[in-house]
C-alpha cells in the first residue's frame, strides 16, 4: 500500500490489558494462540473487550496477522468505531481485496458514500481489482451519477450477471429516481431473489407507480413483512389510505405479523382517512399482541387520534409517555391547534419550554397555526419574531404561510402582502393561494387580481388560483369575467378538485361526492336529506344561496346546496349510527358557510355532537354552536 494515508485518521488509543477485569482467559496466556484470539474477536461484546484484544495483538507482534487484523477492523466498524477501523486499515501493509471491500462496506453502511468512493478509487490506483462483493458494497450508498459510472465498470469486468451486484444497481437507479433504468436492469436479471423483488417494489412504490408495484407485489410467491410494509406505505404516501387499510387487513388474514413500521404506516393511513374506529382497533391490537408502544409509535398515535377527531384519546396517549421528546410535544400542540383549541396549544408550548425542552421549527408551525385559528395577531407576530431572535430558527415557507393565514383571516391583507413580498425565501403557489383566499374572504378584488396575474404570468397558477379568482368575480356578479377565467382554466388544462366527504361507520369508510347517487343506500340518504330540510325550515333556516357562484335561479341554487358532499355524509351518519353518538366527517376542501350553518343547527335539533375535519381545521358542532366561533 502507498505510504500516503487515505484519510487523516485519528491516532489509535493505546490499548492496555486490565487483568483484574479481563475475563478473556486466552488473552492472558503467553504467547496467546491466534486461533483463540480470532475466536475472542468473534465473541467480543464491547469496545472495551476489543481494546484488550488489540493490546494483546500489539504486545505479541500479531497486529499484522491477516486474519486477526481483518477481524479487528471489521469488529471496530460494526461497533460504531469506524475511525479505529480506518486507522488500522491505513496501517495495514499491502491490503488485499477483502480488506478494501470491508472498509468500503463499512463506510457505505454509515452513509459515507464519498469516502467509500475515494477508497475504491485508491484501491484501483494500487492495482487491486474489485470483486462482486466490492461492487455490491459500494453501490449501497453511492449517488446516481457515480452509480452509472460503476455500472459501466461492472459490465467491463464481467460482474453484470451477479445477482447481488444487479440488485445493488437496481437500488442505485431507484434511489436516484431513474425508474426506467431500474426496471431495465431488473427485467434483465435471469433470477430474482426476495431482496431484488423488494428493491424493485420499493422503487415503484416510492415513485408513485402503484399499479406496477401492486402487479409485482401480487406476483410474489413469498412475501415477508418488509414487502407488505413497502406496499402499504406506497398507498399511504401517495394519497390512497383506503387501499392501505384494505391491504393491511389482507396482511393479517395471511398470518403475516406486523412490526413497528407496519403500525406506523397504518396509523398514518387512519389519520389521513379520519378512520377513528380503525385506529382504535389497531391500538387495541397492539395492546393485545404485546407490541411495545415506543415514543415513536405513541407520537404517531397522538397524530392519528388528533386527525380522527378524538383529542381526548390523543391526550391520554400523550400523558402516558414517560419520557416525552420534543416530537411528542409537537404532535400534541399541533393536535390542539388543528382542533382550534388555541389556548390549550399555547399553554402546552409554555409548559414544554418550562421543563427545558427547546422548540423546533415544527413546534412553531403548531403555535402559529393555533394563533391563526383564534385570530391572535399580536401573539402570532411575537412567536414569529421569537423564532429568529430567541431560538435562532430561520422561518421557513411553512411559517410564512401560517402568518399569511393569520393576517389574511384577520383582514390585514396589505400587511400579509408586504410580508410575502419581503420574504427571504421564494414564495410558492400555496402561499400565494392563502393570500388569494384571504382576498376572496374579504372581497378585495383589486389585490386578488394582482396576485392572480402574477401567478399566471409566472406559470405558478393552479386550479385554486382560477377558482378563487372566478369566485371573486362571481360574488361581484361579473359573469363575463367568470366565463373568461373558466375558459382560461379549461385552455390551461387545469381541473377543479371535486369536493369529497367521508364518514367511517362500522370500520368501513364511505365516500361521497356532491350529488352522489352511487351509494347502496342512496334512497335512504335522500329521504334523510328531505327530513333534514324539513327540520331546518321548521327552525326558520334560509339557505345561503348567495354562496352558489353560478348564474342560475335561486331554486336551482337551493338544490345545489342540498346535495353538497358533507350533507350527504351527514345524512348517512344519521341513518347509520345510534342516536346520541357522535358523527365524524372528513372533507377534502374547506367547508362552505351554508354547510357549516346547517351542521350547527342539525347538532342542536338531533342532540348529536358532529365533528367535521375540513382542509384547514376541525369543527366541533355541539347544541347549535361550533368550536371555531364562526372564525374560519
DSSP state string for 69-127: HHHHHHHHHHTT-HHHHHHHHHTSSS--HHHHHHHHHHHHHTT-HHHHHHHHHHHHHTT
CA-CA distance, 348 to 378, in Å (whole number)? 19
Q: Does the residue 452 lie in any domain? A: no
Asked if 265 contacts 233 with a C-beta cutoff of 8 angstroms, the reply is yes
CA-CA distance, 34 to 505, in Å (whole number)? 69
Cell of 238: 401517495
- pLDDT tens figures, 432-445: 888 888 888 888 88
Q: Does the residue 134 lie in any domain? A: no
**What 3-state class would DSSP assign to 620?**
strand
- pLDDT tens figures, 491-522: 777 677 788 999 999 888 899 998 888 899 99
Q: Please indicate whether residue 335 or residue 629 has the higher confidence score (pLDDT).
A: 335
CA distances to 511, 513, 515, 571, 577 from 518, in Å: 10, 10, 9, 15, 20
CA-CA distance, 57 to 565, in Å (whole number)? 76
pLDDT value of residue 508: 87
pLDDT value of residue 387: 95
Asked if 604 contacts 523 with a C-beta cutoff of 8 angstroms, the reply is no
pLDDT value of residue 397: 92
Bridge partners, 513 (sequence order):
500
Mean pLDDT value of segment 308-316: 94
Confidence of residue 594 (pLDDT cuts 50, 70, 90): confident
The answer, yes or no, to whether residue 329 has pLDDT greater than 90, is yes
CA-CA distance, 60 to 452, in Å (whole number)? 79
pLDDT value of residue 4: 39
Bridge partners, 626 (sequence order):
621
CA-CA distance, 489 to 455, in Å (whole number)? 13
pLDDT value of residue 43: 76
- pLDDT tens figures, 2-49: 433 444 455 555 554 444 344 444 454 456 677 777 777 777 777 777
Bridge partners, 508 (sequence order):
505
CA-CA-CA-CA torsion sign (560, 561, 566, 572): negative
pLDDT value of residue 545: 67
The answer, yes or no, to whether residue 85 has pLDDT greater than 80, is yes
The answer, yes or no, to whether residue 398 has pLDDT greater than 70, is yes
Bridge partners, 509 (sequence order):
504
Cα angle value 329/334/338 (rounded, 5°): 155
- pLDDT tens figures, 553-576: 556 666 777 888 999 999 999 999
Confidence of residue 455 (pLDDT cuts 50, 70, 90): confident
Q: Does the residue 536 lie in any domain? A: yes
Asked if 599 contacts 548 with a C-beta cutoff of 8 angstroms, the reply is no
CA-CA distance, 502 to 497, in Å (whole number)? 15
Cα angle value 224/225/228 (rounded, 5°): 95
Q: Does the residue 519 lie in any domain? A: yes
Q: Does the residue 360 lie in any domain? A: no
Least confident of 44-58, 219-233, 542-556: 542-556
CA-CA-CA-CA torsion sign (56, 57, 58, 61): positive
Cell of 406: 393569520
Pairing of strands 610-613, 583-587: parallel
Q: How many domains does the chain have?
A: 1
Range of the domain at 516: 500-626
CA-CA distance, 111 to 51, in Å (whole number)? 25
**What 3-state class would DSSP assign to 441?**
helix
CA-CA distance, 587 to 501, in Å (whole number)? 4
Cell of 438: 384571504
The answer, yes or no, to whether residue 605 has pLDDT greater than 50, is yes
Where do the H-state alpha helices sit in 157-193? 163-175, 179-187
Mean pLDDT (the chain) is 86
Mean pLDDT value of segment 541-559: 64
- Supply the DSSP string of 502-538, one letter for each residue: EEEETTEEEEEETT---STTHHHHHHHHHHHHHHHHH
pLDDT value of residue 566: 93
The answer, yes or no, to whether residue 210 has pLDDT greater than 70, is yes
Q: Does the residue 237 lie in any domain? A: no
CA-CA distance, 167 to 185, in Å (whole number)? 8
Least confident of 71-85, 134-148, 577-591: 71-85
pLDDT value of residue 196: 93
pLDDT value of residue 17: 44
Strand order in the sheet with 610-613: 508-513, 500-505, 583-587, 610-613, 618-622, 625-626
Q: Does the residue 545 lie in any domain? A: yes
Q: Does the residue 451 lie in any domain? A: no
Confidence of residue 289 (pLDDT cuts 50, 70, 90): confident
Overall pTM > 0.85:
no
Cell of 523: 334512497
**What 3-state class would DSSP assign to 222?**
coil
Asked if 73 contacts 53 with a C-beta cutoff of 8 angstroms, the reply is no
- Supply the DSSP string of 392-406, one letter for each residue: -----HHHHHHHHHH
pLDDT value of residue 543: 77
Mean pLDDT value of segment 212-218: 96
Amino acid at each position: 500500500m502507498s505510504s500516503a494515508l487515505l484519510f487523516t485518521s485519528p491516532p489509535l488509543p493505546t490499548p492496555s490489558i486490565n487483568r483484574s477485569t479481563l475475563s478473556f482467559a486466552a488473552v492472558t496466556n503467553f504467547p496467546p494462540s491466534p486461533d483463540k484470539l480470532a475466536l475472542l474477536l468473534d465473541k467480543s461484546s464491547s469496545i472495551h473487550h476489543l481494546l484488550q484484544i488489540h493490546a494483546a495483538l500489539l504486545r505479541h507482534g500479531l497486529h499484522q496477522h491477516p486474519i486477526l487484523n481483518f477481524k479487528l477492523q471489521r469488529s471496530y466498524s460494526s461497533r460504531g468505531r469506524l475511525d479505529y477501523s480506518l486507522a488500522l486499515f491505513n496501517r495495514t501493509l499491502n491490503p488485499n481485496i477483502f480488506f478494501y471491500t470491508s472498509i468500503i462496506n463499512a463506510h457505505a453502511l454509515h452513509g459515507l458514500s464519498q469516502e467509500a468512493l475515494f477508497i475504491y478509487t485508491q484501491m484501483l490506483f494500487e492495482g487491486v481489482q474489485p470483486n462482486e462483493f466490492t461492487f455490491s458494497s459500494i453501490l449501497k450508498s453511492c449517488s446516481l451519477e457515480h452509480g452509472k459510472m460503476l455500472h459501466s465498470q461492472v459490465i467491463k469486468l464481467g460482474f453484470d450477471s451477479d445477482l447481488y451486484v444487479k440488485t445493488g444497481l437496481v437500488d442505485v437507479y431507484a434511489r436516484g429516481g431513474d425508474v426506467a433504468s431500474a426496471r431495465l436492469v431488473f427485467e434483465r436479471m435471469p433470477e430474482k431473489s426476495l431482496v431484488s423483488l423488494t428493491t424493485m417494489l420499493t422503487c415503484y412504490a416510492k415513485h408513485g407507480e402503484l399499479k406496477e408495484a401492486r402487479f409485482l407485489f401480487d406476483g410474489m410467491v413469498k412475501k415477508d413483512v418488509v414487502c407488505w410494509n413497502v406496499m402499504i406505505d406506497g398507498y399511504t404516501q401517495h394519497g390512497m389510505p383506503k387501499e392501505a387499510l384494505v391491504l393491511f387487513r389482507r396482511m393479517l388474514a395471511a398470518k403475516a405479523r406486523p412490526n413497528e413500521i407496519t403500525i406506523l404506516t397504518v396509523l398514518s393511513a387512519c389519520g389521513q382517512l379520519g378512520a377513528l374506529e380503525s385506529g382504535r382497533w389497531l391500538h387495541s391490537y397492539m395492546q393485545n399482541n404485546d407490541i411495545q408502544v415506543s415514543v415513536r409509535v405513541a407520537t404517531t398515535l397522538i397524530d392519528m387520534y388528533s386527525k380522527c377527531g378524538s383529542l381526548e384519546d390523543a391526550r391520554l396517549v400523550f400523558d402516558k409517555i414517560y419520557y416525552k421528546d420534543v416530537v411528542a410535544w409537537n404532535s400534541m400542540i399541533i393536535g390542539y391547534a388543528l382542533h382550534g383549541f388555541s389556548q390549550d396549544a399555547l399553554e402546552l408550548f409554555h409548559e414544554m419550554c418550562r421543563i427545558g425542552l427547546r422548540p423546533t421549527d415544527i413546534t412553531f408551525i403548531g403555535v402559529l397555526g393555533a394563533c391563526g385559528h383564534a385570530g391572535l395577531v399580536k401573539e402570532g407576530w411575537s412567536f414569529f419574531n421569537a423564532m429568529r431572535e430567541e431560538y435562532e430558527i430561520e422561518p421557513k415557507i411553512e411559517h410564512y404561510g401560517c402568518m399569511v393565514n393569520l393576517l389574511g383571516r384577520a383582514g390585514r391583507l396589505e400587511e400579509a402582502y408586504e410580508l410575502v413580498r419581503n420574504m427571504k425565501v421564494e414564495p410558492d403557489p400555496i402561499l400565494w393561494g392563502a393570500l388569494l383566499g384571504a382576498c376572496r374572504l374579504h372581497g378585495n378584488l383589486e389585490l386578488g387580481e394582482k396576485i392572480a396575474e402574477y401567478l399566471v404570468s409566472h406559470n405558478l397558477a393552479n386550479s385554486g388560483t382560477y377558482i378563487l379568482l372566478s369566485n371573486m368575480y362571481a360574488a361581484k356578479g361579473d359573469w363575463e369575467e367568470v366565463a373568461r377565467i373558466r375558459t382560461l382554466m379549461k385552455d390551461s388544462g387545469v381541473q377543479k378538485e371535486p369536493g369529497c366527504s367521508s364518514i367511517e361507520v362500522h370500520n368501513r369508510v364511505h365516500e361521497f361526492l356532491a350529488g352522489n347517487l352511487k351509494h347502496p343506500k342512496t334512497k335512504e340518504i335522500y329521504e334523510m336529506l328531505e327530513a333534514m330540510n324539513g327540520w331546518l325550515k321548521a327552525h326558520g333556516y334560509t339557505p345561503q344561496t348567495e354562496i352558489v357562484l353560478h348564474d342560475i335561479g335561486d331554486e336551482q341554487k337551493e338544490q345545489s346546496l342540498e346535495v353538497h358532499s358533507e350533507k350527504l355524509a351527514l345524512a348517512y351518519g344519521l341513518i347509520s349510527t345510534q342516536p346520541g353518538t357522535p358523527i365524524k366527517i372528513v372533507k377534502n376542501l374547506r367547508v362552505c358557510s351554508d354547510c357549516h350553518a346547517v351542521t350547527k343547527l342539525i347538532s342542536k335539533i338531533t342532540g348529536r355532537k358532529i365533528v367535521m375535519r375540513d382542509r384547514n381545521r376541525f369543527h366541533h358542532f355541539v347544541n347549535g354552536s361550533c368550536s371555531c366561533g364562526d372564525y374560519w
